[in-house]
Amino acid sequence: MQRMTALLLLLLFQLTAMAQRECDLHIEVSVTEKHNGQPLFPVVAHIDELNRTYETNERGRFTMDSVCAGTYTFHFHAAGYEHHVEQVNIVSSGEVRFKLGHVYTNLEEVTVTTERNATLLQDKDKLNSEALARESGKSIGDMLQSINGVSVIANGATVAKPVIHGLHSNRIIMLNNGVRQEDQQWGGEHAPNIDPFLASDITVIKGASSVKYGADAIGGVVLVEPAPLRRQPGWDAELNMAAFSNNRMSVVSGMVGHNFNKLPPLSFRLQGTYKKGGNYRIPGYWVANTGVDEKNYSAALGWNKLHYGAEVFYSHFSTDLGIYTGSHTGNQNDLNAAINSDTPLVPADFTYELKRPRQHVEHDLVKTKMYLDSRIGMWHATYAYQHNYRQEFDVLRKESDKAQMNLTLNTQTLNLNLEHRPLWKLTGEVGVDGIVQENFIQPGDRLFIPNYRSRGLAGYLLERYKGEDWTLEGGVRYDYRWYELFNPEGTSGQVVRYVLDYKNISGTLGYVKQLGTRWKYSVILSNAWRAPQSNELFSAGLHHGAARVEYGNRDLKPERSYNINGELVGMIGSKLKLDISLYNQYIHNFIYLEPGTDLLTIRGYFKTFGYKQTDANLTGTDVSATYDWTSKLSTSFKGAFLFARNVSQKDWLILMPADRLSLNTIYTTDISEKLTKAFVSVQAKYVFSQWRIPQNFDQIDYPRPPGAYFLLDASIGTTIMLGKQPMELSLTTMNILNQRYRDYLDAFRYFIDQPGRNVVLRLRVPMNFDNNKKNLIDEIH
């Protein structure tokens, strides 16, 4: 009771104190987007001293009446924006303006997003929307090559998969719009079924990252992130076009976004891409049956309130790909004949027509995501359904429309994630992952992997402590995965059922320290694991392209990797930027193919390979440096080196990317008000010949890895202002010298050269129709 009286007295005293001050001020508050000055709403502003909360109207404003002079602390909250705190000293009536930075577009604070929802302190690199625009029309695998430490494993010019620090396919994870892509990654000729035009940026996390992204992320993770849905009322749109000379390929992609004026939480976006290319050309020759025909579309609908919201996303990817006719060899002699021939064995002219062998692949994704900002923290729930359908059309004697393989992979995933509110200086997240999957062929197909169903459950915790100039991060994850497989065996095709399960713990520990204002270093320890895939366990099939038979091994155990990564980033003087990264990855039970005894078939003898396990060690470095000669002219250097050892056999590992260097010089300038951001750039790339090969190479592979090559690309472009409408136009020439070369990681290295010169014309038109434009102009005048 005594305490109550004291409190009342205190209150009374305060009230009288306030009454004595001037308390009739009228304050207009406006909140705008930091970069484009657009009014923001809804934004919640909380004022500590008044203990009052306001919300902005559609003009990004609110009014405070009868305010006393004094110092006030404003807190601003808006979805997609940084939590902004600012102290303001109010002395008289008037307008107070605040600017909020969008977490996605704020380049200096790129890590804000990733730190919040995505990542780990791990070594990562990003292609932002500008970089993606420069590469538009290429496949996602090809685009990622511009990231240091990333190369591609390919099947000619049309199928490219990213290789991160020497690891690829089912050793890396692709996260498409927050959902783990499940699309038959095990096959070397299975490119990721993702439309890169969906992305506003693509991030590559290098090294083991299982804790956050789940099992299999031994080599790293590729995050494909679309832009957030539009939050200001009005329309925006974007048109992308690209024309490639080499295979006469056209790519058109369009996007429309809208936020409803009458219903501010509701936004949508529609997007579609069409791509058609014909046979591509290597110096001197057309390559038979290498066309591509791709149609993709997606739709997103969002309901975003300040503290909760939901989003539904649907995307459809569909592609038809021809496979170079000459890569389909009948036996070892055919293969050797193709290898020993300097010219392609199958003559061809240009055509858009696709013949057998070819593939048709469809990928559908339905995703629903909900979030809720509660007192405990930010809750996210994401459910996704993926349907992947892959058809392979083999060369046949009989005319037929039938595919010889019809593979269906259906996946459902559920993720629940809580980013808890900071506990003192501790931020972090905790979550649960669930997966249900089924994979099956159609009756009467040719067999490569058995049918299976699988379920998995995982839980993780990731915490981060921020000190003055350092950050410490630690995480742990537990995975359980269960498989039930149905494998037809023997000459009668008797179905045998197998049940397998795997449990594993993975962890990460990272430390980042700022050294003064210019330097920063990080050390990350992490581990990851991967269960053997059904092709590694059970495959018994012929690879036509390599004329060899692969046998699965049912005794395979999961791979476990232990990764250490150190990175140093900083500036020397004001002009030289440096980024040096060193990594070492030890993989216990690394699964690889070892040659076995030759197999006699009706087509003659074939080399056979069986899946075996060893301990492997991958050491490497990625170095990059950028020097700004002037504010307009800059040169950047990149180098990536990898030493991949088979530790048990004291030998090199086969099929690892060769070392590479690249040098890029760019000059950027604004010519006039009508011609802005004009640029000229030249890129040189040198790839060494891979000499680190196992001693028994000649018995298992022929010929030796191809020689080193040097490529020169050049680009010129500008942004043209047509009134207020910008148009970005660029012309790029790849392989200017029309160089003949082959790449060790391209399965077509046996048969044909890499593509010759390719001139690309690109046009990008971003459009913005704001309902608020008029208001904004009124305010300015």
Partner 1 sequence: MKYINQIAMTFLVSTVLFTACKKDNNTILENPTVNEEELITTLRLVVTNSSGFNKTFNYKVDNGIGNANPSTPVIDNVVLSANTMYNVEVQVWNESVTPAEDITEEVKSESDAHLFLFASAPTSGAGAITFNNGSKDAVGKPFNQTIECSTGGAGTGSLTVTLKHQPTDKNATTPDAAGGETDAQAVFPVTLQ
> Footprint of partner 1 on this chain (CB under 8 A)?
308, 310, 325, 328-331, 333-334, 336-337, 345-347, 368, 370, 372, 374, 379, 381, 383, 385, 394-398, 404, 408, 410, 412, 414, 438, 440-447, 450-453, 486-491, 493, 495, 497, 540-542, 549, 551, 599-604, 606
Q: Bridge partners of 438?
A: 410, 453
Residue 451 CB, nearest approach to partner 1 (Å): 5
In angstroms, rounded to a whole number, what is the distance separating the alpha carbons of residues 467 and 137? 43
Residue (347 or 707) nearer to partner 1, CB:
347
Please tell me the distance from the alpha carbon of residue 140 to that of residue 152, in angstroms, as a whole number.
Answer: 10
- Interatomic CA distance for residues 376 and 418, integer angstroms: 8
Are the CB atoms for 547 and 329 separated by under 8 Å?
yes
What's the Cα-to-Cα distance from 63 to each of 54, 152, 465, 542, 777, rounded to whole Å? 8, 57, 39, 74, 21
Q: Are 756 and 17 in contact (CB under 8 A)?
A: no
Nearest to 367 by CA among 214, 228, 199, 180: 180
Of the pair 443, 723, the CB lying nearest partner 1 is at 443
Residue of 531, 527, 553, 529 lying closest to 540 (CA atoms): 553
Residues with Cβ < 8 Å from 560, sequence gap 6 or more? 504, 527, 528, 529, 587, 588, 589
Which is nearer to partner 1, 383 or 697 (by Cβ)?
383
When the beta carbons of 121 and 549 are compared against partner 1, the nearer one is: 549
Query: Considering beta carbons, is residue 306 or 564 the nearer one to partner 1?
Result: 306
Neighbours of 212 (CB within 10 A): 25
Query: In the bound complex, what is the minimum distance in angstroms from residue 369's beta carbon to partner 1?
Result: 10
Nearest-angstrom CA–CA distance, 286 and 157: 12
User: Over the Cα atoms of the chain, what is R_g?
Assistant: 29
Least separation in angstroms between residue 459's CB and partner 1 is 18
| Whether 76 contacts 56, CB under 8 Å | no
CB of 553 to partner 1, least distance (A): 10
- 316-328: string of b/e by CB count within 10 Å (b at 16+)? bbbbbbbbbbbbb
Min. distance of Cβ 297 from partner 1 in angstroms? 21
- Residue (289 or 296) nearer to partner 1, CB: 289
In the complex with partner 1, which residue's Cβ is closer, 109 or 594? 594
As to burial, measured by CB atoms within 10 angstroms (0-12 exposed, 13-18 middle, 19+ buried), residue 474 is middle
Distance CA(742)–CA(525), nearest Å, equals 36
CB of 74 to partner 1, least distance (A): 26
Min separation Cβ 775 and partner 1, Å: 32
C-alpha distances (whole Å) from 252 to each of 145, 238, 759, 764 are 22, 11, 16, 10
- Smallest distance from partner 1 to CB 494, Å: 11
Token couple for 745: 């990681």
Element of type H or E holding 249: strand 249-259
CB of 215 to partner 1, least distance (A): 22
Give 94 or 347: the residue with its C-beta nearer to partner 1. 347
Judged by beta carbon, residue 496 or residue 571, the one nearer partner 1 is 496
* CA atoms in the 13 A half-sphere facing the CB of 491: 0
CB of 374 to partner 1, least distance (A): 8
Tell which residue, 703, 700, 500, has the closest CA to residue 593. 700
For 642, the 3-state DSSP assignment is strand
Specify the residue, 395 or 712, whose C-beta has the smaller distance to partner 1: 395
Residues paired with 607 in a beta bridge: 548
**DSSP 8-state assignment for residue 118:** I
CB of 344 to partner 1, least distance (A): 10
Q: Is the CB of 18 or the CB of 337 nearer to partner 1?
A: 337
Task: Report, in Å, the least distance between residue 342 CB and partner 1.
Answer: 14
Tokens of 434: 């669930």
Quick one: 248 or 453, whose CB is closer to partner 1? Answer: 453
| CB-CB neighbours of 673 under 10 Å | 7
Whether the CB-CB separation of 401 and 395 falls below 8 Å is answered with no
Q: Which is nearer to partner 1, 93 or 336 (CB)?
A: 336
> Which string of b and e fits 110-142 if b means at least 16 CB within 10 Å?
bebbbbebbbbbbbbbbbbbeebbbbbbbbbbb
Q: Minimum distance between the CB of residue 485 and partner 1, rounded to whole angstroms?
A: 10
Strand blocks (E) in 692-738 = 709-722, 725-734
Taking the least distance from each CB to partner 1, the nearer of 77 and 258 is 77
CB 509 within 8 A of CB 524: yes
Extract the runs of DSSP E, i.e. beta strands, from 629-708: 633-646, 651-652, 660-669, 675-687
Report in angstroms how near the CB of residue 123 gets to partner 1 at its nearest: 35
Q: Given the complex with partner 1, which of 3 and 398 has the nearer CB atom?
A: 398
Residue 341: φ, ψ to 5° = -85, 135
Neighbour-count burial for 377-397, b at 16+ CB within 10 Å, e otherwise: bbbbbbbbbbbbbbbbbbeee
With respect to partner 1, which residue has the nearer C-beta, 376 or 767?
Answer: 376
Is the Cβ of residue 348 or residue 763 nearer to partner 1 in the bound state?
A: 348
| Residue 552: CB minimum distance to partner 1, A | 8
Nearest to 252 by CA among 726, 762, 721, 767: 762
Tell me the residue type at 718.
T
Question: Min. distance of Cβ 602 from partner 1 in angstroms?
Answer: 5
Nearer to partner 1, 126 or 612 (CB): 612
CB of 396 to partner 1, least distance (A): 6
End-to-end CA distance of the chain: 59
Smallest separation, CB 420 to partner 1 (Å) = 15
